[in-house]
Amino acid sequence: MDLTARAFWLGSPGHGELRDVGLFEPGDGEVLVRALYSGVSRGTETLVFRGGVPESQHAAMRAPFQEGDFPAPVKYGYLSVGRVEHGPDELVGRTVFCLYPHQSRYVVPAGAVTVVPDTVPAGRAILAGTVETAVNALWDAGPLVGDRIAVVGGGMIGCSVAALLARFPGVRVQLVDADAARAATARALGVDFALPEDALGECDLVVHASATEQGLVRCLDLLAPEGTVVELSWYGDRRVTLPLGEAFHSRRLTLRSSQVGTVSPHARASRGYADRLALALDLLADPVFDALITGESAFEELPDVLPRLADGAYKGLCHRVLYDAD
């Protein structure tokens, strides 16, 4: 049994490196997984890469199998798809999703992996963590048939939310982003697109995922009286200023946070973390989500790729990392 692996580490803010690691032999109830693909969560991971996690959030921001501590050195990530090489008979040979950092092989408890349905290609399954966040956001938001909805911010999370909202009957869904190139993505997802200044107002619900102050301010502008903004953006160590004077109170607007670390209270009584992730994987059977994967590179290139993702030199949505599957 090969118990060696290579892992991506953030050695210091802005500098990544590959390290050789040794693995413990899997015991009862554990699996050895060989990675096939992983995904870079551009918002959170590039913020971590820059060293932007505030000290007050170091504990809350820990990934399930993170090693090291913020700001660095740290091994961080949570979108991995691989094949089980050793473990319980019912899992050996199966393709699984795991909230694991970028690493070529790893040993985890069998309960930490979720089998990817046969209807979902392994290369698309890296989006499971992103779609899981979108599912939780919609549980928090509670959209209704016929709602007028805007999704402000056409990144991975915003596009995933828009793709799910497109399935709701009778809703008006518009993806809003400052990058006109997102119009093509919106078309692929089956939703309308607008630049911020052209977005339709009088919304019952606005989902914010641009991680910008300007985006959140625009969300408030787009609401109808008694409308709600669900905030998905995480700003790290940045402060945000909002116009909560003016007509905020007289229009009885609501600003609500949503975060994937806790199952929405609207679903908590009957759904747990495993249920939510399994649902996200089932939803990924829809090929429309392929529009969210806009770049890829080999695992060995990751130390050179992440700086370019962090500084914006590489555009796009989800960046897929390919591993040697021999």
Contact 77, 102 (CB under 8 A): yes
Whether residue 210 contacts residue 158, with contact meaning beta carbons closer than 8 Å, is answered with: yes
pLDDT band at 84 (very low <50, low <70, confident <90, very high): very high
CA–CA gap between residue 302 and residue 102 (Å, rounded): 9
Render pLDDT for 15-72 as a digit per residue (tens, 0 to 9). Answer: 999 999 999 999 999 999 999 999 998 878 998 999 989 898 899 889 999 999 999 9
Q: What is the pLDDT of residue 115?
A: 97
Amino acid at 224: A
> Quick one: average pLDDT of 155-174?
96
Share of the chain above pLDDT 70, in %: 99
| pLDDT at residue 43 in the model | 78
Question: Which pLDDT band holds residue 102 (cuts at 50, 70, 90)?
Answer: very high
Percent of the chain with pLDDT over 90: 85
Distances (CA, A) of 108 to 25, 26, 78: 10, 8, 13
Angstrom distance (rounded) from CA 70 to CA 317: 25
Encoded tokens for 192:
């309308």
| For residues 290-318, average pLDDT | 93
What domains does the chain contain, in order, with CATH numbers?
A: 4-124+284-322 (3.90.180.10), 130-257 (3.40.50.720)
pTM score: 0.92
Tell me: the pLDDT tens digits for 105-128? 999 999 999 999 999 999 999 999
Average pLDDT over residues 234-260: 91
C-alpha to C-alpha distances, 162 to 150, 179, 198, 288, 324, nearest whole angstrom:
8, 16, 18, 11, 33
Q: Which amino acid is at 217?
A: V
Judge contact between 18 and 7, C-beta under 8 A. Answer: yes
Of 215 and 261, the structure prediction assigns the larger pLDDT to: 215
Structure confidence at residue 236 (pLDDT)? 78
Task: Please state the rounded mean pLDDT for residues 182-209.
Answer: 97
